[in-house]
Homo-oligomer: A and B are copies of this chain.
Amino acid sequence: MSEVLRLHWLQPYIDSLQVRFLHITRYHISEYYVMTPVRLKHCVMWYLEDSALHVEADGQTYRGQSGDLFVFPAGMTVYNRTITGPNRVISINFDGNVPLFGTGNWLELFGIPVQSRASVEVKEAFGRMLSHREESGISRRITLQGDLLHLLAGLIREGVAERSEQMKDCGDMRVRRAADYIFTRSSRIPEVQELAQIADVSESHLRKLFRQYTGLSPAHYIHYVKIEQAKRELAENDRRISEIAAGLGFAEPNYFARLFKAKTGCTPTEYRRQFRIWGAEG
């Protein structure tokens, strides 16, 4: 049996992230500066180069120092004033959206806190983006969009790892247990009832928890995982489609094919063909 790739329960959300870079600027802030509270239209990241700032975000208070990273989601009300000055701050504006998660705070979902110490990678990424901004090349925006994705990829990686630690004793551990069960027993399609037992809650409560933490019903979540696993198999090996379907727990290849088509818009064969334009490997 081929090894089926494991998926983290946050993977669907991360994969559906849409990002649009808007702007990067380095600000010099006088020591007398006091900001009027602003409700952010876009996501904002600040790297504090040389700063002592008092920051308020949705009522929470932070004390920002040189080397700190702030990440604010769109919609947050932010206020700040200089503690001692002058200050230098690099600020990035961007749009971010996780369609699968709706209008919730996706930064929080991915474990990215409002304030943290910037890693060396983050600091370097800000510097690189400032210098790319100075280049007036025609594809400047595309380069900066790529830079921003790399920066976010790092923050998400750290955030999710951190969050998995924290979540060990936390409420949606039940959802995680159920999700882990789906991922690890990839050769079966579990019943919702079975998942409820694993999570030690009633079926209706499990449905509620899944909706709350994943935005999907348990059945749709199972479908998502199965189709993702099937897509990887189709793209990355040459096994027969009926074998792949059986390996993922589908007793009926036709049911698998119908589900695949409904979720992806193309048949398994069509899907594979687009990655297989070389045909069989030599």
A residues contacting B by CB (< 8 A) are 5, 8, 10-11, 14-15, 17, 19, 22-23, 25, 27-33, 35-36, 38, 40-42, 44, 78, 85-87, 89, 91, 93, 136-143, 145-150, 152-154, 156-157, 160, 235-236, 270, 273-275, 277-279, 281-282
Contact = CB atoms under 8 A, between A and B. Distances in A.
Contacts of A148: 146
A157 B141 contact: no
A259 B141 CA distance: 24
Nearest to A34: B279
Contacts of A91: 277-278
Contacts of A14: 138-139, 141-142
A152 B139 contact: yes
A230 B14 CA distance: 34
Contacts of A137: 153, 157
Contacts of A28: 281-282
Given A8-B138, A139-B153, 7 more contacts: A14-B141, A23-B275, A27-B281, A35-B278, A44-B277, A138-B156, A139-B154
B85 A33 contact: no
Given A138-B157, A139-B152, A275-B23, A282 B17 contact: no
A274 B27 CA distance: 14
B146 A149 contact: yes
A240 to B, nearest CB: 19
A30 B281 CA distance: 7
B138 A275 contact: no
A193 to B, nearest CB: 29
A266 to B, nearest CB: 8
A148 B5 CA distance: 23
6 tightest A-B CB contacts, nearest first: A30-B282, A146-B149, A139-B153, A142-B153, A146-B150, A146-B146
